[in-house]
Amino acid sequence: MIYFDNAATTWPKPPQVRETVARAIERYGANPGRSGHSFSVETAQAVYEARKNVASFFGAEAAECVAFTGNCTQSLNTAINGLARRGCHIITSCLEHNSVMRPLESLRLRGIADYSVAYVYDDDEMTVRSFERLIRRNTLFIVCTAASNVTGKLLPVEKLSRLAREYGLKLVVDAAQAAGVMDINVSADGIDYLCAPGHKGLYGPMGTGVLICSSNDAEPLVRGGTGSDSFSLLQPDYMPDKYESGTVNVPGILGLSSGVDFVRDKGLAKIRAHEADAVDYIRGELEKTPSVTLYGDYTNRGYAPLLSFNINGLYSEETAMKLDAMSIAVRGGFHCAASAHRYCKTEQTGSVRVCPSYFTSKKDVKSLLISIQKIAL
């Protein structure tokens, strides 16, 4: 199978990630922070080292700013639901994944909060002004993706951060398609809550995510045992315990840290350039095929390295199935992002998403193009 579904999860995983997970199951089997014996302490130390590693990679002020979660969706739900207050207003973008839109819609339907959707333009200043026009007296925070999971369109996170600070708002960023591909520094970029998966651009295992907090004023999504303050019936109000109830996924966390090491060792710029070159070549070749429609304007390089297309006369799922029969793995459909598909005017057909990884070869790219052209002709 030639794999181009890396926006869903990267595959294959680096050998060192697989080895770390296997070693963690064997060596770090005790429950971290739940016992005083040396086996538990050793496991807790390994998790702490992973926490420090992730904090350093994303420019967090301290290891304690990093909470490990089950996935990016859990991180986003923690931030969105935890920050929302009754009667408040929230602003998001028109390119959001359902991990943002469904929590917002749930808040609206329950009468807790209202939200507005800002239009995203190719011009970053116009996008920022689009957000600014929606600010109200009761607006509490902005939540937006760093990069669309349908087209790869980048949002001007740093400029939105300055806007948020100007109006006294918090900024929550969904880095599902940006973490491990684009430069992100939560301190320098002014991000209050960064939500990221471990299993995509960070090359870690599935079932891992991070929530990096510059402040911890969001209420926790889950309350329970943390191994600390056990005699209190109140959830600890300090990081990372506030957002880490229950036993953490030790093998997954250590595998995630190993994935971060892989990205650091290879170089973020090198990985991004490799993937961008593949996308540019694919796009350039598909532009020559009249029956293929491409989405997104890549001329200004304001995109993460993924693309979406359709073959005229076919639903996206049909194209994906035909490619699967040729041993090419892509994602067809609506990518859990109805808002983005309305933006692209693909709400009837969905689109076929192609996303390379560091392991994608020129041979893989050529095989993909040959297969698409066979279907399109």
> Would you say residue 299 has pLDDT above 90?
no
Q: What is the mean pLDDT of the segment spanning 166-188? A: 97
pTM for this prediction: 0.95
pLDDT of residue 319: 97
Domains and CATH numbers, the chain: 15-265 (3.40.640.10), 268-376 (3.90.1150.10)
pLDDT at 34 over 90: no
Predicted confidence (pLDDT) at residue 79 exceeds the cutoff of 70: yes
Question: Average pLDDT for residues 28-44, to the nearest whole number?
Answer: 85
The contacts of residue 97 (CB under 8 Å, 6+ apart) are 145, 149, 174, 176, 335, 336, 337, 340
- Identity at 26, one-letter amino acid code: E
Report percent pLDDT > 90 for the chain: 90
pLDDT in tens, 45-56: 999 999 999 999
User: What's the CA gap between 328 and 333, in Å, rounded?
Assistant: 16
| pLDDT grade for 373, boundaries at 50, 70 and 90 | very high
Distance CA 84, CA 237 (A): 17
Instruction: State the pLDDT at residue 235.
Output: 87
pLDDT on residue 326: 97
Q: What are phi and psi of 364, to 5 degrees?
A: -60, -45
**Structure confidence at residue 302 (pLDDT):** 87
The confidence band for 310, taking pLDDT boundaries of 50, 70 and 90, is: very high
Does the pLDDT of residue 377 top 60, yes or no?
yes
Kindly report, residue by residue over 219-243, the tens digit of the pLDDT. Answer: 999 999 888 878 889 988 989 999 9
Predicted confidence at residue 300, as pLDDT, reads 54
Asked if 149 and 121 count as a contact pair (C-beta separation under 8 A), the reply is no
- Cross-strand pairs, 223: none
Per-residue model confidence (pLDDT) at position 258: 98
pLDDT of the residue at 229: 79
Instruction: For 62-76, write each residue's pLDDT tens digit.
Output: 999 999 999 999 999
pLDDT at 298: 67
Average pLDDT, the chain: 95
- C-alpha 55/C-alpha 77 separation (Å) is 21
DSSP string of 64-103, one letter each residue: GGEEEESSHHHHHHHHHHHH--TTEEEEEETT--HHHHHH
- Given a cut of 80, is residue 315 above it in pLDDT? yes
Give per-residue pLDDT as tens, 194-215: 999 999 999 999 999 999 999 8
